[in-house]
Chains A and B, each alone.
Chain A
Amino acid sequence: EADIYQTPRYLVIGTGKKITLECSQTMGHDKMYWYQQDPGMELHLIHYSYGVNSTEKGDLSSESTVSRIRTEHFPLTLESARPSHTSQYLCASSPIGTATYEQYFGPGTRLTVT
Chain B
Amino acid sequence: AQSVTQLGSHVSVSEGALVLLRCNYSSSVPPYLFWYVQYPNQGLQLLLKYTTGATLVKGINGFEAEFKKSETSFHLTKPAAHMSDAAEYFCAVVGGGADGLTFGKGTHLIIQP
Contact = CB atoms under 8 A, between A and B. Distances in A.
Interface string B1-23: 00010000100000000000000
Contact of B103 (A42, A48, A99, A106): A42
Contacts, number: 81
Interface residues of B, number: 27
Q: By DSSP majority rule, is chain B's interface helix, strand, loop, or mixed?
A: mixed
B98 A100 contact: no
A42 B42 contact: no
A71 interface: no
B46 A102 contact: yes
B5 to A, nearest CB: 10
Interface in A74-111: 90, 92, 94, 99-108, 110
The CB with the most chain A CB atoms within 10 A, among B41, B94, B97, B104, is that of B97
A75 B84 CA distance: 33
